[in-house]
Amino acid sequence: MPPHDEVVCVVGAGYVGLVTGVCLAESGRTVHLVEIEPRRLERLSAGRCPIHEPGLEEMLQRLLAAGRLHVTGDIAAGVRDAGVVMIAVGTPPAEDGEADLSQVHEAVASAAANADRGAVIAVKSTIPPGTTASMVASRLAPGFPLVSCPEFLREGSAIHDFNHPTRIVVGGDDRAACERVAALFGHLGAPVIITDSTSSEMVKYGTNTFLALKISFINEIAHLCELTGAEVGAVADGMGLDPRVGRAFLDAGLGFGGSCFPKDVRALEAAAAEHGHSFWMLKSAIEVNLMQRRRFVTKVREALGGSLDGRRLAVLGLAFKPGTDDLRQAPALDVIRHLERMGAAVTATDPAALEGAAPMLPDTTLVTDAYDCVRGADAVVLVTEWPCFRQLDWRRVAGSVAQRIVVDGRNCLDAALLTGLGFAYHSVGRRALLPD
């Protein structure tokens, strides 16, 4: 009997594969989730979530118990009876920024070697434009249609994003195969684009790199705001009201981190260079993003009168953004190392990322409680805009710090409240505000 699309195999239980597998099982499919990393496999089999994604662990446990989700380390078992095999393994950056495709190649070849005739192999991993076409040309999966099906999930809101897609994109030579893959998401009511595989891959890279460009652009505007006396919040609001610009991703601050934007910008730049194209705008997006961290460290130093030597700094936030424990390319790591190199003693806290940060920040004092973190500090430095930091009892903080200085790297704190409590308030893209 040909395999049925009611059974889906997802290969790779990382941020993308695990969310995709759990949400497809939630939608009624039977999902075989393949994970070869032993520790991660053990945790998943025990119903424990290896990533910090709100609501995911409860869904994982419920769907495992209901027998709708099966976790295995054996791809042969995973692909059995599956109508669609979804590849969601990692594509980490190599030294030169190029995407390392070895895991994708290995997973596609293993799937093809074990899948039932009639199955479709869909690559959800983020892969450079032309990758699927070259895998087809090199007959990596003989006898199986191979299509691209990129994901657009944000960490920290991945379940929401899965269930509220702005579009479903599938690309491949075999239209029927593409339609079968698109049908897995049909219940979500999003517009569907079915195209060739290279265009599908380009949609993913084009989206992520454009968003990264947009962030670097507003950060350049923010720097100019500081030089001219403009206020970047009002500027972003004014720009964002133009529907051609849009307000989203116009928040000035410490710039982008995470496992996607930095990797995808470099990977597309490398892919362009392979085709003899110097994608200067991507080079600029990367440069501005790195510059933004250096500018911020300078801002902290200037807020303290020009020297950080012997100063005690309290850093609020380590994860690359709120809602996750992910520290990959997190601005906090660069900023803290810079501050320490300039002689500061840093104490830091984060609601989710402390454990992961400890081995990366050997000279930093890590504490779980924000009030312990700020005690005796010469300045409070906000790096990740966790809601709990905005909701702190800042009057209590004012009575606890050595100097009432705040440097807000995400423009997320209440400036009027802080200056009213006697803080000097420094932020990104605005003039410093002195205490009332």
Catalytic residue, chosen from 23, 49, 178, 260, is 260
**Cα angle for residues 154, 160, 163 (degrees, 5° grid):** 115
249 or 279, CB closer to ligand UDX? 249
Q: Which listed range, 63-71, 76-84, 247-255, 340-348, lies at the site for ligand UDX (CB under 6 A)?
A: 247-255
256 or 423, CB closer to ligand UDX? 256
Give just the sign of the alpha carbon dihedral 70, 74, 80, 84: positive
145 or 258, CB closer to ligand UDX? 258
Residue 317 makes contact with ligand UDX by CB under 6 A: no
Residue 226 makes contact with ligand UDX by CB under 6 A: no
Distance of CA 368 to the CA centre of its chain: 23
Q: Which listed range, 5-13, 77-85, 148-156, 277-285, lies at the site for ligand UDX (CB under 6 A)?
A: 148-156
Give least dist CB 307 to ligand UDX, A: 28
Residue 12 makes contact with ligand UDX by CB under 6 A: no
Give least dist CB 94 to ligand UDX, A: 19
Q: Out of 32, 266, 321, 430, which residue is the one contacting ligand UDX (CB under 6 A)? A: 321
386 or 394, CB closer to ligand UDX? 386
Q: Out of 162, 185, 205, 256, which residue is the one contacting ligand UDX (CB under 6 A)? A: 256
Residue 327 makes contact with ligand UDX by CB under 6 A: no
Positions in 363-392 near ligand UDX (CB under 6 A) = none
Give least dist CB 403 to ligand UDX, A: 27
Residue 296 makes contact with ligand UDX by CB under 6 A: no
Whether residue 332 contacts residue 351, with contact meaning beta carbons closer than 8 Å, is answered with: no
Give least dist CB 30 to ligand UDX, A: 26
Q: Out of 13, 79, 136, 153, which residue is the one contacting ligand UDX (CB under 6 A)? A: 153
166 or 228, CB closer to ligand UDX? 166
145 or 322, CB closer to ligand UDX? 322
Residue 155 makes contact with ligand UDX by CB under 6 A: yes
Using H for helix, E for strand and C for coil, what is the string for the chain?
A: CCCEEEEEEEECCCHHHHHHHHHHHHCCCEEEEECCCHHHHHHHHCCCCCCCCCCHHHHHHHHHHCCCEEEECCHHHHHCCEEEEEECCCCCECCCCCECCHHHHHHHHHHHHHCCCCCEEEECCCCCCCHHHHHHHCCCCCCCCEEECCCCCCCCCHHHHHHCCCCEEEECCCHHHHHHHHHCCHHHCCCEEEECHHHHHHHHHHHHHHHHHHHHHHHHHHHHHHHHCCCHHHHHHHHHCCCCCCCCCCCCCCCCCCCCHHHHHHHHHHHHHHCCCCCHHHHHHHHHHHHHHHHHHHHHHHHCCCCCCCCEEEEECCCCCCCCCCCCCCHHHHHHHHHHHCCCEEEEECCCCHHHHHHHCCCCEECCCHHHHHCCCCEEEECCCCHHHHCCCHHHHHCCCCCCEEEECCCCCCHHHHHHCCCEEECCCCCCECCC
Binding mask 195-224 for ligand UDX (x = CB under 6 A): -------------x--x---x---------
Give least dist CB 150 to ligand UDX, A: 8
Q: Out of 261, 296, 389, 423, which residue is the one contacting ligand UDX (CB under 6 A)? A: 261
CA neighbor of 266 nearest in space, from 287, 245, 250: 287
Q: Out of 60, 260, 300, 346, which residue is the one contacting ligand UDX (CB under 6 A)? A: 260
CA neighbor of 36 nearest in space, from 91, 98, 88: 88
Tell me if residue 260 is catalytic.
Answer: yes
81 or 201, CB closer to ligand UDX? 201
Q: Out of 17, 129, 171, 253, which residue is the one contacting ligand UDX (CB under 6 A)? A: 253
Residue 154 makes contact with ligand UDX by CB under 6 A: yes
- Cite the active site residues: 260
The binding site for ligand UDX (CB under 6 A) comprises 151-155, 208, 211, 215, 249-251, 253, 255-258, 260-261, 320-321
